């Protein structure tokens, strides 16, 4: 009897966590076939890239539980199939927060805010690259302009320009 109750509680708990991970699945499915790189950030890793310890940046990222960023391949850019991500999220109840398109730049931001579960997805395309992201958590959108004004070059590490080869083991270092 006790093992049945434990099993039921376990199933219920697993069921509680499914909606959170399920919302990132459309982006993950698309990105698995079209990604060049994938980055996953949590509050601690976001604070680590804040080299100058800018308090505005730390405040902005403090409510983020998880941020997934994908740089997408040239196929995604060429055929503009990244727009399918947005359609998938619209179908599951995400609302448009912002969009900008024209020329070589496109930007889409969609969100789904609930009492304890805020989620956002977005795509940014410029003439050089396409990036898609999924964010779970709270962010103070109104503080972004203040943050941008306070940034100086070098305040935050640009992880997208890191050279992967510098992290590979050199066989001569033994």
CA 72 to chain centre: 13
Using a cut of 0.85, tell me whether the model's pTM lies above it: no
pLDDT at residue 73, as a whole number: 87
Hey, what are 120's tokens? Answer: 């956002």
Question: What is the rounded average pLDDT of the residues 50-77?
Answer: 86
Higher pLDDT, 70 or 150: 70
Residues sharing a CB contact under 8 Å with residue 42, sequence separation 6 or more, in sequence order: 64, 65, 66, 67
- Report the alpha-carbon distance of residue 94 to residue 111 in Å, rounded: 5
Residues sharing a CB contact under 8 Å with residue 36, sequence separation 6 or more, in sequence order: 71, 72, 73
Question: What is the rounded average pLDDT of the residues 105-124?
Answer: 87
List pLDDT tens digits, range 12-63. Answer: 344 443 344 458 888 888 888 888 888 898 888 888 888 888 888 888 888 8
pLDDT at residue 157, as a whole number: 73
């Amino acid at each position: 009897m006790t093992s049945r109750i434990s099993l039921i509680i376990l199933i219920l708990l697993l069921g509680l966590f499914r909606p959170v991970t399920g919302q990132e699945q459309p982006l993950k499915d698309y990105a698995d076939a079209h990604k060049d790189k994938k980055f996953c950030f949590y509050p601690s890793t976001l604070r680590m890239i804040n080299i100058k310890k800018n308090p505005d940046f730390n405040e902005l990222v403090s409510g983020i539980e998880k941020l997934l960023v994908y740089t997408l391949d040239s196929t995604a850019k060429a055929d503009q199939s990244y727009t399918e991500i947005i359609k998938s999220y619209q179908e599951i109840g995400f609302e448009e927060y912002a969009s900008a398109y024209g020329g070589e730049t496109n930007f889409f931001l969609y969100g789904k805010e609930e009492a304890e579960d805020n989620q956002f997805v977005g795509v940014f395309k410029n003439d050089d690259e396409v990036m898609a992201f999924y964010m779970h958590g709270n962010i103070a959108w109104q503080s972004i302009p203040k943050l941008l004004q306070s940034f100086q070059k070098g305040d935050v590490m640009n992880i997208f320009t890191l050279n992967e080869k510098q992290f590979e083991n050199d066989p001569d270092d033994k």
